[in-house]
Structures are given as C-alpha cells and as structure tokens.
C-alpha cells in the first residue's frame, strides 16, 4: 500500500518506519522543514532503540521517504495516517488545532478516494467532527477510521511489530477491512468497533494503566507504615490472572507525554458531559504527591536540605528514552533547588533535553553517575536506567560525603546497599 504519514513525532515516525519495513511505500510528512532535512539524512531527532537502523534500511530500500510537501504526499498515496500531536490546553483539554488543520490540508490535496486512519489520541467525537470537516472541503470520496496507537516510548519499535491488539473504529466494515488488512501481518488480534468506542478505548486504557500505578503507589505508602514490602505484595497480587503483574511497579509515579495528558483529557471529556470522574482525579492527585516522596525521605534523614548536595540519577520519565516531557525529575529537582539544595544531575541520554527546559545556578550537570555522586550527601535515583544498577558501590561510597541512597524506582535491593554500608531508602519496602 502507498501510505502518507502526517506528523513525524513518536507515533508517526515509528509507524511510518514499521509500515515501510512491511513492504509498504511510505512517505512521512512534517511541517517542520528542518526536521525533514534531518530525517532525510537518516538521522533521528529522538532517542528510540532500533529506530535509526529501521529508518536507514527502509530509506535505502526506497520504501521510506520524508517531505514537507503534504499535498504531493497525499496525492501519491492510497491511505493517509494522521499522527500529529494533540497537546494539552491549559484546561487539560486536548488542543485539536493541529489535527484540524492537517485534516483541512489533506481534504484540499485529495485527487481520488483516500482512507484516512487517525492514530492521534483524540477526544471522543473528534473523528466524526474531522469527517464533517474533510467532507466540507474534499471533492473526492474518503473514509475516516480510528486506529489508536498503544506503543510505548523506549520500546516503540518492538511494540509496533508485536502489538497486544489493534483497535479499529469505523462506520463501515469495508473501511475497517482495508485498515485491518494493513495491520494483519502484525497480529491476528484485530478488534473492530465503532469510532467512538475506539476513541474511548485509547483513553480508558491509558487511564486504567495510570490507575494501576497510583494504586500500587498508595499501597507502597501504606506498606512503609505497616512494615510490608510492596514488591512482594505486587508479585503476589499479580499471580491472580485477573490482576496480572504489569504496571504494578511502585515508584515516584508516572510521567511522559501520554499518561499525564490523557488522564487530564479524560477528566475533561467526562466533565463536558457533566460527569465527575472522581477516581481518575484521585489517580492524578496521588501521582503528583508521589513525586515528592523522595524529597520527604531526604528531609526525614537530613532535616533541612539547605546547603546539602544531592546527586540526581536519571532525568528522563522512564529508561531508554531522552523524553523529559512531564518527567517526575522536573518537579523533584525544582523542589530540591527550592529548598536550597545543590543538585548534581546526570542521565545517560536525556540531560540536554532536561537542561533546555530547566537550568539553575545550583545545578551541576554531570557526565555519569559517579561524577554526580562526587561529594554528595545523598544520591536520589529517579529513572531506573540499567547503567545505574551496574555502578560499583564501593567506589560510589568513597566518592560521596555521606553514604545515603534514596531509590525512587526500587532498582536496588536493601540487602545489597546495606551490605555496602549505605543508608538506603526505597519506595514501599522496609529499610
Ligand atoms: C504509555 C502507554 O503504556 C502506551 O500503551 C501508550 O501508547 C502511550 O502511553 C501513549 O499513549 O502514547 P509511555 O508513556 O511511552 O506509554 O510509557 P510507559 O511505559 O507506559 O510508562 C509511563 C510512565 O509510567 C513512566 O513514567 C513509568 O516510569 C511509569 N510506570 C510504569 C510506573 O511508575 N510503574 C509501572 O509499573 C509502569
């Protein structure tokens, strides 16, 4: 199939590259001409394992190209994937200006029937509004189907090739069948439903996963008070197949470009129809508070943090990405600086992005974990990068002025750290 992909963010770029690997002819479009020239050289503006090799291989095979000319990309394609951003407005609602503009441009560019597959996360009802918008401009037949995306950053390529399911929302079964045919080599678990339900599946899935995380974080907070171990609790719960083991890792809460945005948007979607989504509001509140749990732990050890030096290990919202959007590290570093601490921060790949968004005279930007720990009163681990687990604990202890490690992601074990002479505190586990 010849496919135009509009938007080269995570979803657009990864989907475009993966569909080209499956021997479709893909042309990826972005308004940002400088991004297109970077991509056309085979360079990837984001850190995502496996993506660059995939892009280069398919560009060389002549199946993948990049352009900022939306019109010609749409004209030479049978299907269009819409994967532009839907960022949050200050109210929490999704901002649909970009996707509406893209839909207008697609409509104006059409030269025959097009199947438009919407992968952007959009509030319920949006695809029908886009349908009306395109119909008011287009001179050719078209169909819109909702194909929400469930890939995770850091494992986006693997997730795209091995999805748990593909959800297709369509008004007509013929349109659903074309979209299903495109995805059939990825999985046979293709769930076809109506458009509104497909839109809701995306929000409900992210909200449910966020709920699991806030739930286990509250259990962790109680475990700390009653002397239980949340990792054992989560493991024991997860053997119940109705519960499962995934998304029950306690820590400093979720961040990133999806859960924070989509939970707020779903609260708004509900609010717009006079429904107060109380459970999800609590999930969001718990997540905000959870970020500061590491700061409270530091204060319990040191009292005031004024003048203390705190090493911060990890700035990305999760490992294997350089994405710092709504990363818990931002709230935590800002709180530490606000309390008068000196911060020594490091991250294997996300440091430049983080520093672009927040810099301060009391933050030293460090190359690696040991350099960050130099002279520190405590290490605060905020992202569970595997490299941090490999740090030599004896060297670490020698370089710090006090051997305190606050583990916001339960990466280490208490035995390991206490054996190495550290004062160790983690989330929801006995000290
Ligand atoms: C999430 C969903 O997992 C994807 O299915 C979805 O497609 C994507 O949002 C999206 O809507 O685009 P992502 O945000 O990339 O993917 O990353 P996750 O692996 O889900 O992690 C999100 C956050 O939750 C991270 O900050 C992570 O540290 C945290 N988390 C995750 C926990 O604190 N505990 C867990 O057990 C799991």
- 101 lies in the same domain as 241: no
Is the minimum distance from the CB of 258 to ligand 1 under 6 angstroms?
yes
The pLDDT of 307-316, averaged and rounded, is 98
Residues 97 and 17 in one domain: yes
Please write the tens of the pLDDT for every residue from 19-71: 999 999 999 999 999 999 999 999 999 999 999 999 999 999 999 999 999 99
How many domains does the chain fold into? 3
Q: What number does the ligand 1 atom closest to the CA of 255 have?
A: 26
Task: Answer yes or no: is the C-beta of 247 below 6 A from any ligand 1 atom.
Answer: yes
Q: 89-123, pLDDT tens digit by residue?
A: 998 888 999 999 999 999 999 999 999 999 999 99
Mean pLDDT of 246-275: 96
Q: What tens digit of pLDDT does each residue of 174-186 get?
A: 999 999 999 999 9
Predicted pLDDT at 81:
98
Residue 329 located in a structural domain: yes
Burial pattern 192-219, b for ≥16 Cβ within 10 A else e, equals bbebeebbbbbbebbbebbbbbbbbbbb
For residues 75 and 221, state if they share a domain.
no
Q: Specify whether 31 is located in the same domain as 167.
A: yes
Catalytic site positions? 258
Domain that holds residue 310: 292-426
pLDDT at 6 over 80: yes
Q: Which residues of 124-135 are buried (b: 16+ CB within 10 A; e: fewer)?
A: bebbebbbebbe
For residues 229 and 279, state if they share a domain: yes
Q: What does the pLDDT read at residue 25?
A: 98
Q: Under a CB-based contact definition with an 8 Å cutoff, are residues 295 and 343 in contact? A: no
How many other C-beta atoms can be found within 10 angstroms of the C-beta atom of residue 389?
11
**159 CA → ligand 1 middle, Å:** 12
Domain assignment present for 232: yes
CATH of the domain at 209: 1.10.1040.10
Same domain membership, residue 226 and residue 173: no
Count how many residues are written for the chain. Answer: 431
Cα-Cα end-to-end distance for the chain: 57
26 shares a domain with 53:
yes
The answer, yes or no, to whether residue 207 has pLDDT greater than 90, is yes
Pair 98, 181 in one domain: yes
Whether the CB-CB separation of 347 and 385 falls below 8 Å is answered with yes
Any atom of ligand 1 within 6 Å of the Cβ of 203: no
357 with 411, same domain?
yes
Do 131 and 173 have their domain in common?
Answer: yes
Query: Do 176 and 56 fall within a single domain?
Result: yes
Q: Region 306-314: what's the mean pLDDT?
A: 98
CATH number at residue 38: 3.40.50.720
- Residue 431, domain member (yes or no): no
pTM of the shown model: 0.96
Examine residue 301 and state whether it is found in any structural domain, yes or no.
yes
Residues 227 and 304 in one domain: no
Instruction: Evaluate whether residue 30 is within a structural domain.
Output: yes
């Amino acid at each position: 199939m010849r496919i135009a992909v509009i938007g080269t963010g995570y979803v657009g770029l990864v989907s475009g590259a993966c569909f080209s690997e499956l021997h479709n002819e893909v042309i990826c479009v972005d308004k940002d001409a400088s991004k297109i020239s970077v991509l056309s050289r085979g360079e990837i503006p984001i850190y995502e394992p496996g993506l660059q090799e995939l892009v280069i291989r398919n560009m060389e095979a002549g199946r993948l190209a990049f352009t900022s000319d939306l019109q010609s990309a749409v004209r030479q394609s049978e299907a269009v994937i819409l994967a532009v951003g839907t960022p949050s407005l200050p109210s929490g609602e999704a901002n649909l200006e970009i996707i509406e503009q893209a839909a207008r441009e697609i409509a104006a560019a059409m030269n025959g029937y097009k199947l438009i597959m919407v992968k952007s996360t959009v509030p319920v009802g949006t695809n029908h509004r886009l349908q009306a918008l395109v119909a008011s401009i287009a001179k050719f037949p078209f169909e819109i189907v909702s194909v929400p995306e469930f890939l995770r950053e850091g494992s986006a390529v693997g997730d795209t090739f091995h999805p748990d399911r593909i959800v297709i929302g369509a008004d007509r079964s013929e349109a659903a069948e074309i979209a299903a045919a495109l995805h059939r080599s990825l999985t046979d678990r293709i769930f076809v439903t109506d458009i509104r339900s497909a839109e809701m599946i995306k929000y409900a899935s992210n909200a449910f996963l966020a709920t699991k995380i806030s739930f286990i974080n509250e259990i962790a907070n109680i475990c700390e008070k009653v002397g239980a171990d949340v990792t054992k609790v989560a493991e024991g719960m997860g053997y119940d197949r109705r519960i499962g083991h995934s998304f029950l890792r306690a820590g400093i809460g979720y961040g990133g470009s999806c859960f924070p945005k989509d939970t707020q948007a779903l609260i708004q979607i509900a609010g717009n129809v006079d429904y107060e989504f109380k459970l999800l509001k609590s999930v969001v509140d718990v997540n905000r508070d959870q970020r500061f749990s590491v700061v409270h732990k530091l204060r319990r050890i040191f009292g005031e943090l004024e003048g203390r030096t705190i090493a911060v290990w990890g700035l990305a919202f999760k490992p294997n990405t350089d994405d710092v959007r709504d990363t818990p590290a931002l709230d935590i570093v800002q709180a530490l600086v606000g309390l008068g601490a000196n911060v020594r921060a490091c991250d294997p790949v996300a440091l430049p992005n983080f520093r672009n968004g927040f810099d301060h005279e009391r933050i030293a930007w460090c190359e690696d974990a040991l350099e960050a720990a130099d002279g520190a009163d405590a290490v605060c681990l905020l992202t569970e990068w595997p490299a941090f687990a490999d740090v030599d604990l004896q060297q670490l202890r020698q370089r710090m002025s006090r051997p305190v490690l606050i583990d916001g992601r339960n990466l280490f074990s208490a035995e390991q750290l206490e054996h190495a002479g550290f004062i160790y505190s983690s989330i929801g586990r006995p000290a």
